[in-house]
Every structure is written in structure tokens, then in C-alpha cells.
Amino acid sequence: MTKTYDMVVIGGGIHGAGVAQAGAAAGYKVLLLEKTGLAHATSSRSSKLIHGGLRYLESWQLDLVRESLKEREILLRIAPNLVQLKPFYIPVYRETTRRPWKIRAGLSLYSLLGNFSVNSRFHKLSKSEWALLDGLRMQGLRAVYRYWDGQTDDIKLTNAVMGSALSLGATLKCPASFISASYSNNQFEIHYQDAGGDKQCSARSLINAAGPWANTILSQIKPDTDYLNIDLVQGTHIILDQTPGDGIFYLESPKDQRAIFVMPWQGKTLVGTTETHYQGDPDNIQPLENEISYLLDTVGKYFPMYQRKIIGSFAGLRVLPVGEGPAFHRPRETTLHTDTKLPGLVTIYGGKLTGYRATAQKAVTLARTVLPAQKIRADTATLSLSSD
């Protein structure tokens, strides 16, 4: 007998887990299909930051920053064991293109968009404090600003969100590969494969949270559906065998002025990220030698005393709208794509780790247009998340 769900979610990254939680909290019967493992791909290859998106102010993405700061505050409240505030340092040198006045203006706007909360404070460090900055190069240093943002373990956060979804009644099939879906009579007939072989189920709503594989999933749905043209952008991080300090450094790459983070991670130092257009199979993504050199050159410029011994590296993929120019300056707002020919189908394009909960709520709101009213079980903005 074919099992019937209100909502089937494809993809077990942070957004898929978030949708499963939001759907179950809204009272719906939810199934999540994940082909490999929770947070196996993009959601485990992030910069591990829960941040408001300070750098997005340069491209005037004010709504994105405002929402991200709001979501950061929610996560600090509901997941204190998973998300912690860390000091971020922005050094300004003689050759830095972003001058002190611009950094101060940006941080002031950041604080304003954060409603001047205590977590949105910032200040300029005195010169007497510079020597405490973990070996940061002093030559040519003109100013250092400190503000606060969040850091997390992206894998643990994804697992905690999925754990919350399961506690609310959602079902997880993992590993389980989505094979195809067909739409007729106001519902989707879904074919997937798990350890037990070929399976089928039906649902009124289908949420595509497959990240870089989103358009591949859409190609497996009948009748044919619209899709967005996207660019896949590779981001590489390296891990240095270097004992870190307590703070996170927001640096300007000497090569192209992009933002690079140098941060503590599991007793070592994590450096990232890059932005390289990617056209291959998302399953085959690997850090590139020129990306590693790029990151090492940035670290060497600002921390000349650091060892350059790499003990690990990883690469993930961002989904961005097709566009001209450097990916660094592209809009980063999440796009929720629907198709009037297939009511109930929602595809999540892009998305930030910080904003997963808000994105999930929006996706479920769109799905509700084809779902029966249900008694709400919980509010994800108040549900505690635990790493246990």
C-alpha cells in the first residue's frame, strides 16, 4: 500500500531539515528523503558562521542583512549550545581599499539593522590592544574594529534541526535516492529507492531542497516544470595546523579585495573562502590548487608568523542566479521557485546557513496553499535545539 504524506522534502541539508521541522511543527505529515547523509554536502562545507552578512551591505542587500540579524538572534536564543557569539576583528592597513570611515559606517548600519541590540555593538580597538591579536601583522596597520557575530558546527546544527523534526512526527529516509515524481489529480506520485529497494509514496506538496542538485531533481519530475538558470560557485576552505586565538578575523584579500575569514575551528585554524565557477558534477567537487594558494597567500600577508602547514581542506557549492561579473558581488537572497502547472512544488535556490529557519517557514507557507488546515504543533522560533 502506497503511503501518503502531506509533504515530501528532497535533500537532507540544513534547508531540507528546516523544512521538515517547519512542516511538522505546522501539523503536517512530512517525509524527508536524503540520498547520502544529513549535512553530507554543502551544509557541512560552510564557513561555520551564523552571521548577519556584514559584507552584503556593500551591495545594499539590506533586507537580507536585517533578516539574517533577526535569525541570528533567534538561533542564539534557541540553540545556545550550538551557536555562540565570537569577536570578529577587521584590521585596516595603509593599502586596504576599505578605509576606516567606510568600515565604521558599515558597522553603524549593521548595528542599526540589528535594532542596536547588545549583540550588534562594535568599537575601535586602541593601539595598546593590537599586540593581543594572535600575531596579526603590525606593519602598516591603521585601525582595528571589533564586532560580534555567531559561529556554529554546521553538521551538529543540521542534525539538531532534523532531530527536532523527528520529535514532531516527521519521517526520515536516509540513505534514500529520489528517482522520479509525476503530478496528477492534485498530488505527486513519488518513486524513490532505499535499502529495502524501490518504494513509492504520494504527497500533495513536494519541496525540492537539493541545493546544487535542484535542477537535476526538477528534470526528474513530470510533467516538465520550469526551472531557474543558475551558476554553481565553488567555495574552498583550508585547515591549518595552527593553534588559533579566540577571535575571528575578517580580512581583505590582497589579490581581489574579497572578504576572507581566519577563524578557530576544532583546535586548529580554518581559512575561507574562495569563489570559483564550477561546471562539473556536484558529487565530484574538490579544492583546487590555485584556491589553496590564494588562501595561503592571504594568511601569509596578515599573519607572517603562522605555519603554512595544511592538514585539511574542503569545498562546497553555492547556488547563485546566472549573472555577469564576480560572484562576490551577486545578490545572495534565497529564491523560492514555484510553477502554476504543478501546484505544491517548491524549489529552494540558494540560501544561507543563518537564514535556514526563515527560508523553511516561507517554503511551508507556499506549500500550505495546497494543503488542508492543521492544528499547529509548535513555533520553530521558540523550539529549543540541542546538540545531544
Environment class of 222 (CB within 10 Å of its CB; exposed 0-12, middle 13-18, buried 19+):
middle
Query: Per the structure block, which three cell numbers stand in for 32?
Result: 524527508
DSSP H/E element including 217: helix 214-218
- 316-327 pLDDT, tens digit per residue, is 999 998 876 666
**Which segments of 273-355 does DSSP mark as H helices, in order?**
289-302
Predicted TM-score (pTM) of the model is 0.95
Weakest-pLDDT range from 130-134, 202-206, 331-335: 331-335
- Per-domain boundaries in the chain: 3-42+155-229+332-370, 90-150+230-325
CATH no. for 90-150+230-325: 3.30.9.10
- 68-85 pLDDT, tens digit per residue, is 999 999 999 999 999 999
- 265-312 pLDDT, tens digit per residue, is 999 999 999 999 999 999 999 999 999 999 999 999 999 988 889 999
Name residue, grid cell 505529515. 29
For residue 333, what pLDDT is reported? 81
Spatial CB neighbours of 357, under 8 Å, sequence gap ≥ 6: 18, 22, 71, 74, 75, 380, 381
Environment class of 261 (CB within 10 Å of its CB; exposed 0-12, middle 13-18, buried 19+):
buried
Higher pLDDT, 17 or 244: 17
Give the number of other Cβ atoms within 10 Å of residue 324's Cβ.
Answer: 6
Looking at 3.40.50.720, 3.50.50.60, 3.30.70.260, 1.20.210.10, the CATH number of the domain 3-42+155-229+332-370 comes to 3.50.50.60
Whether 344 shows a pLDDT value over 70: the answer reads: yes
- 34-70 pLDDT, tens digit per residue, is 999 999 988 889 999 999 989 899 888 999 999 999 9
**Which segments of 49-174 does DSSP mark as H helices, in order?**
62-78, 100-113, 154-167
Mean pLDDT of 347-370: 96
For residue 143, what pLDDT is reported? 96
